[in-house]
């Protein structure tokens, strides 16, 4: 897995009281949920490297329907899932612990996007079976920030987004921190932490971002699958829709063997996945040579290869049903791999392919980065897209309205 360089963000914001500035110029809470001071110096976002990406899952879990998830198909005809989400959808990732907290309830006025994936839920430490936002914020309080009007919270912003017809999915895992499934010692403990997050935010959709060494950690892989199956049984007993996606790293040639095993483990444990979302980013020159102008093509190669891999896992599904279980999540603009830049033209190519094939999910890392930088960069900032000439919400403009 590639690791992002610790570099300053293109734009800076003053930290609020009781906030600390990390090495990338991002403010975080100075006290963690465990009460100790901690500043994140790692790359908190999706990070695929030589194959660390994917998120998606399928089925109407309130009924445990094992057929295809609701889909707009390949004709652009919009459908609606049992929880009110579009049958196929765009939900860019939000780095929920980045400062300032993204105002998801207000930015749809600017960018037209009304569904988001909030990231990431991890354990407060490697040995604490206690869910948190990036190890910085408790589940009960959530991230918050300050502006000229005072303090505001992520949860208030989620409420405002829902009031206007939007919604959020929450992602567990990511490139930094310890997954809940690794920190907790039993399936029941893991389920309890999942339920805590779901009930706090009244979620109908969750995502599991599994990357890096966790792809091959058999204990946490099995515990996760068992826990999600139990969670879906609980949701069904409560009459609650619960859609589950897995997010995994990918190469233009498809998932690695470890990542295929992660998906197979979930299926074998009885998890009903809405689909598999892959991180179409940071491939490396060895597997994606001369990437300039080809990042859209490499991303399409990756999901076409994934389509074949999922056909082996779900052999009874049709071509269109398989496409509805596939997601793609590029890293917009400058990737961690310095030679890779996902341009607006690559986004347009991706959108066209998704429209034509009924791809189940489009994400991107991240909405925080959908802004121009003060100077052109060859490293991935957490707050801008790497270019001075690619303006605010350039990528949101391409993907907004997908499936609606």
Structure tokens at 299: 């991303």
pTM of the model: 0.85
Mean pLDDT across the stretch 280-307? Answer: 98
Residues labelled as active-site residues: 211
CATH class of the structural domain 44-399:
alpha beta
Distance in angstroms (rounded) separating the CA atoms of residues 267 and 262: 9
Residues 6+ apart with CB under 8 A from 215: 51, 52, 221, 248, 249, 256, 258, 259, 262
Task: Look at residue 208 in the predicted model and tell me its pLDDT.
Answer: 98
1, pLDDT greater than 80: no
Strands 137-138 and 243-249: unpaired
Whole-Å CA distances, 155 to 90, 178, 264, 265, 272:
21, 23, 34, 33, 28
Residue pLDDT, tens place only, 325-361: 999 999 999 999 999 999 999 999 999 999 999 999 9
Among residues of the chain, what percentage have pLDDT more than 90? 81
177, pLDDT greater than 90: yes
DSSP state of 158: H
Estimate to the nearest angstrom the gap between the alpha carbon of 224 and the chain centroid. 17
Q: Which residue has the higher pLDDT, 308 or 27?
A: 308
23, pLDDT greater than 60: no
Strands 205-209 and 243-249: parallel
Q: Identify the three-state secondary structure at position 369.
A: helix
Counted residue by residue, the chain has a size of 404
Residue pLDDT, tens place only, 28-60: 444 333 333 333 333 344 654 433 333 333 333
Query: Which of 76-80, 208-212, 213-217, 305-309 shows the lowest per-residue confidence on average (mean pLDDT)?
Result: 76-80
Cross-strand partners of 328: 278, 362
Dihedral pair phi/psi, residue 154, rounded to 5°: -60, -40
How big is the CA angle at 154 (ends 118 and 178), to the nearest 5 degrees?
45
Q: Which residue has the higher pLDDT, 45 or 165?
A: 165
The CB-side HSE value for 186 (13 A sphere, CA atoms) comes to: 3
Strands 361-362 and 55-56: unpaired
Within 83-173, where are the H helices? 108-111, 154-163
Task: Look at residue 78 in the predicted model and tell me its pLDDT.
Answer: 87
Extents of the domains making up the chain: 44-399
Structure tokens at 83: 């929880």
366, pLDDT greater than 80: yes
Task: Look at residue 46 in the predicted model and tell me its pLDDT.
Answer: 65
In angstroms and rounded to an integer, the radius of gyration of the C-alpha atoms of the chain is: 19
Structure tokens at 284: 């490396």
Within 135-213, where are the H helices? 154-163, 180-183, 187-201
- Average pLDDT over the chain reads 87
Mean pLDDT across the stretch 280-289? Answer: 97
Task: Look at residue 47 in the predicted model and tell me its pLDDT.
Answer: 53
215, pLDDT greater than 90: yes
Instruction: Determine which helix (DSSP H) or strand (DSSP E) holds 151, and give its type and residue range.
Output: strand 150-153
């Amino acid at each position: 897995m590639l690791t992002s360089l610790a570099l300053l963000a293109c734009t800076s914001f003053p930290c609020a009281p009781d906030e600390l500035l990390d090495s990338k110029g991002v403010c975080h809470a100075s006290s963690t949920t465990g009460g100790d001071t901690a500043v994140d110096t790692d790359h908190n976002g999706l990070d695929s490297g030589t194959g660390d990406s994917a998120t998606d899952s399928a089925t109407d879990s309130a009924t445990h329907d094992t057929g295809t998830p609701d889909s707009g198909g390949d004709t652009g005809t919009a459908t609606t899932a049992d929880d009110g989400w579009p049958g196929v959808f765009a939900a860019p990732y939000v780095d929920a612990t980045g400062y300032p907290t993204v105002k998801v309830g207000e930015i749809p006025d600017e960018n037209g996007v009304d569904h988001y994936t909030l990231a990431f839920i991890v354990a407060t430490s490697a040995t604490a079976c206690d869910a948190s936002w990036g190890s910085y914020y408790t589940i009960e309080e959530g991230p918050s920030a300050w502006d000229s009007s005072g303090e505001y919270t992520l949860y208030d912003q989620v409420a405002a987004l829902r009031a206007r017809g939007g919604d959020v999915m929450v992602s567990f895992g990511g490139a930094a921190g310890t997954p809940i499934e690794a920190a907790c010692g039993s399936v029941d403990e893991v389920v309890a932490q999942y339920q805590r997050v779901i009930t706090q935010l009244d979620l109908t959709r969750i995502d599991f971002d599994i990357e890096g060494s966790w792809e091959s950690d058999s204990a946490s892989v099995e515990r996760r699958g068992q826990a999600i199956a139990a969670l879906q049984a609980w949701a069904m007993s409560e009459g609650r829709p619960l859609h589950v996606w897995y997010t995994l790293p990918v190469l233009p040639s498809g998932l690695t063997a470890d990542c295929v095993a992660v998906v197979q483990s979930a299926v074998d444990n009885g998890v009903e996945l809405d689909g598999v979302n892959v991180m179409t980013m940071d491939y490396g020159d060895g597997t994606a040579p001369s990437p300039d102008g080809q990042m859209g093509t490499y991303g399409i190669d990756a999901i076409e290869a994934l389509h074949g891999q999922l056909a082996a896992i779900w052999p009874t599904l049709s071509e269109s049903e398989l496409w509805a279980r596939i997601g793609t999540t590029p890293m917009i603009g400058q990737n961690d791999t310095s030679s890779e830049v996902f341009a607006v033209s690559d986004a347009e190519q991706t959108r066209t392919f998704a429209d034509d094939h009924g791809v189940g999910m489009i994400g991107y890392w991240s909405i925080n980065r959908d802004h121009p930088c003060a100077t052109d960069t060859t490293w991935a900032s957490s707050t801008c897209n790497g270019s001075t000439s690619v303006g605010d919400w350039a990528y949101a403009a391409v993907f907004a309205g997908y499936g609606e």
